[in-house]
Amino acid sequence: MTPVTRDLVVELVHVGKWYGAFHALRDVSLGVARGETVAICGPSGSGKSTLIRCVNGLERHQEGEIRVAGTALGSDGSGVEEVRRRTGMVFQSFNLFPHLSVLDNLTLGPIYAAGEAADRAGRRALALLDRVGIADQAAKFPGQLSGGQQQRVAIARALMREPEVMLFDEPTSSLDPERVQEVLAVMEELAAGGMTMLVVTHEMGFIRRIADLVVFMDQGEVVEAAPPALFFAQTHTERARAFLGRVMHL
């Protein structure tokens, strides 16, 4: 039988990262296939955010290989511009420009950095704001919106890049519980539409429903990686069992 070849959009091979003497990522290998949602969880300081920032070139790895949408990210910073053109990134904080309207937050980059015509960028932005459920907020400023609405603006802004992969770094961690579901609903819609996503999150319900693969990290290592049904039913390490025991009872 011919083995099935996965169409990997994100691939990390034996990746290592240090901050001075601190070993932040240890021999990390991971692949995200086209259309998959891979969820990364683990305790604070386990290397989750460092990993996803390395994938976007915000941090430079010192060992191993990282490839995103066919482009190699070098430890010297090579490939970063191309990778960022093909990825969307959503952070814990919303990182919106407070002095610009919601619509202008979405169109600023495409118009001034990519040279897109203002009318076309505006039409795309309004369509994306409608997609995330806040088209009626286009003329407002970020400070006039709830946290959940601001994060949905941030997602729409990332989608303006027409990315091949979306990267999420704990996108609901700064939101109150009532607003968390607003953002998760948008992410679930993206997953259902076939968007490739790498998500750092502690939202276990989201992971169960949406993830194709759950990656558990601790002390910079990938300790376990399994489909949700298997991960939640029979974790193989005491570190993963202890983590689940804490987060599932919060």
pLDDT digits (tens, 9 = 90+) for 174-185: 888 888 999 999
Residue 249: the pLDDT is: 58
Half-sphere exposure of 44 (CA within 13 A, CB side): 2
Per-residue pLDDT averaged across 125-143, rounded? 96
Calpha distance 34→194 (Å, rounded): 8
pLDDT digits (tens, 9 = 90+) for 15-56: 999 999 999 999 999 999 999 999 999 999 999 999 999 999
Q: How far is CA 33 from CA 25, 104, 135, 183, in A?
A: 21, 33, 31, 23
Residue 94: the pLDDT is: 87
Give 235 or 6, the one with higher predicted confidence: 235
Residue 250: the pLDDT is: 47
The reported pTM is 0.93
Q: Would you tell me how many other CB atoms lie within 10 Å of the CB of residue 3?
A: 5
Q: Tokens 């296939």 correspond to what residue?
A: 33
User: What values do phi and psi take at 238, rounded to 5?
Assistant: -65, -35
Domains along the sequence of the chain with CATH: 8-92+165-247 (3.40.50.300)
Is residue 1 over pLDDT 60?
Answer: no
